[in-house]
Amino acid sequence: MHKEGSSGSPVTSPRPMAATRAIYPGSFDPITNGHLDLVERASKLFGHLVVAVLTNFEKRPLFTPEERVAMLEQVTKDYRNVSVETFGGLLVDYAAQKKAQAIVRGIRAFSDFEYEMQMALMNRKLAPKLETVFLMPAESYTYVSSRLVREIFCHGGSVKGLVPQLVEEQLRKKFSGKNRKG
């Protein structure tokens, strides 16, 4: 027995997600526990997950791409099917280069949805076979963003529980000798 699509032609079974390569792109500046929550869950859904650090210098990053990759490699080392790389340019071109079938994006709130939807639709226009999968972080991380972590830390607040211990240590090193309140 086979299924038929709306056109009456047979529907081919999609590849199982376990055989699918996905890319989780972002600036990860710094890595938050919300990012790690999505890495953990996406690593269970896909055969291979590439955490792709965007090298966009227009954003004036706190950490260099190399520092972010090193931290991500350290905090994701227990996931056998996760690798970490950098990329620049169009995500769809990078996905084609990596032979990825899916993009993973996190949505914390409705405010994220409009932007992410636009990006997903544009990516679909540019690469129709590339799917975007939206994941929501655990409720405890819905309010956490890299921007807020940087702001809290710069003003002397505690980021404990918002970022991995390694990232908190790297933030301290980055700001030692700099003007930080507290």
Tell me if residue 13 is catalytic: no
Q: Are 173 and 66 in contact (CB under 8 A)?
A: no
Q: Helix crossing, 65-75 with 165-175: angle to 10°?
A: 150
| 35 counts as catalytic | yes
- Nearest CA-CA partner of 22 in 135, 136, 137, 132: 132
Active-site residue 146, yes or no?
yes
Q: Which of 59, 77, 147, 155 is catalytic?
A: 59
Annotated catalytic residue within 108, 124, 174, 180: 108
155 in active site: no
Q: Under a CB-based contact definition with an 8 Å cutoff, are residues 130 and 103 in contact?
A: yes
CA–chain centroid gap for 81, Å, is 15
Which residues have a Cβ under 8 Å from the Cβ of 19 and sit 6 or more positions away?
47
Which of the residues 35, 48, 68, 105 is marked catalytic? 35
| 30: exposed, middle or buried (Cβ count in 10 Å: 0-12, 13-18, 19+) | buried
Q: Where would I find the H helices in the chain? A: 33-45, 65-75, 91-97, 110-126, 146-154, 165-175
Residues labelled catalytic: 35, 59, 108, 146
